[in-house]
Amino acid sequence: MADLEENDASGKKPGKFKKILKIFGILLLLMVLIIGGFCLGIYFRLIDSNEMNEKYGLYDMPIIGDMFVRPVPDGESSVDEAEKKNPPKVEEKKPQKKSKDVVLSKEEIEKQTKERQAEEKKRISKLARLYNEMKPEDAAKILEGMEDDIVISILQKMDESQVSQILTEFNTERAAGITKIMYNGLPKRPAQNPSANNKNN
């Protein structure tokens, strides 16, 4: 008989634990629903946060105070007047430390140069794929306004049939100039070689 009483007592403990767990789960769900509803109410402007800010002084609270603006008292026509009466807190300026010159080794410079070149190749390949998908007339209109070296880089990555159709859309002088450069090889960019820029003009 004592064994039966122990089984009944031990049987009640899991039942109490389940009840407590259910109650805790329900309370947690209610809290989430209340907080979520409040946030949605503010988001959809069903709840006036400015009125709550003024009424409860939310702008003075430690954590959420940064999200609210101090309201302008009645009788003051602008924010400037309110700032004159309640000047903002001025932080002390700390002397700024001078930055040290960065010295790069030759290997680091070469590595950065290779990375830039790889990124440029990716961009050019992507542009070439985009222009391949366009109608030749539309691609030519866009390429007409670009510098020769960029146009050539893009055209060299494109399908030859598409390039020939685009070149026919250019004016004859520009098409001839681009063809010459493509035959002789791509010159350096104008920023790196100013004499090449003067020859193109």
Convert the pLDDT of each residue in 52-76 to its tens digit: 777 887 778 777 777 767 766 665 5
Residue 62: CB atoms within 10 A of its CB come to 6
Residue 111 has pLDDT above 80, yes or no: yes
Enter the pTM of the model. Answer: 0.40
Residue 40: its pLDDT value, please? 83
pLDDT value for 195: 43
| Distance separating alpha carbons of residues 144 and 153, to the nearest angstrom | 14
Q: In degrees rounded to 5, what are phi and psi of residue 89?
A: -70, 130
User: Which among 179, 156, 157 has a CA at the least distance from the CA of 168?
Assistant: 179
In this predicted structure, which of 15-24, 48-57, 153-162 has the lowest mean pLDDT? 48-57
Q: Is residue 5 pLDDT above 80, yes or no?
A: no
pLDDT at residue 107 tops 60: yes
Angle at 107 between CA 106 and CA 108, to 5 degrees: 90
| pLDDT average, residue stretch 14-36 | 92
Tell whether the model's pLDDT for residue 128 goes beyond 80. Answer: yes
Identify the weakest region by mean pLDDT among 98-102, 110-114, 170-174.
98-102
Give the model's pLDDT for residue 84.
56
Q: What's the rounded mean pLDDT across residues 77-105?
A: 59
73 vs 112, which has greater pLDDT?
112
- Amino acid 99: pLDDT: 61
Highest mean pLDDT among 1-5, 26-30, 71-75: 26-30
Average pLDDT, whole number, for the chain? 76
For residue 93, the model assigns a pLDDT of 57
Average pLDDT over residues 165-188: 84
The residue ranges of every structural domain in the chain are: 17-70, 113-195
In the CATH scheme, what architecture does the domain 113-195 have? Orthogonal Bundle (1.10)
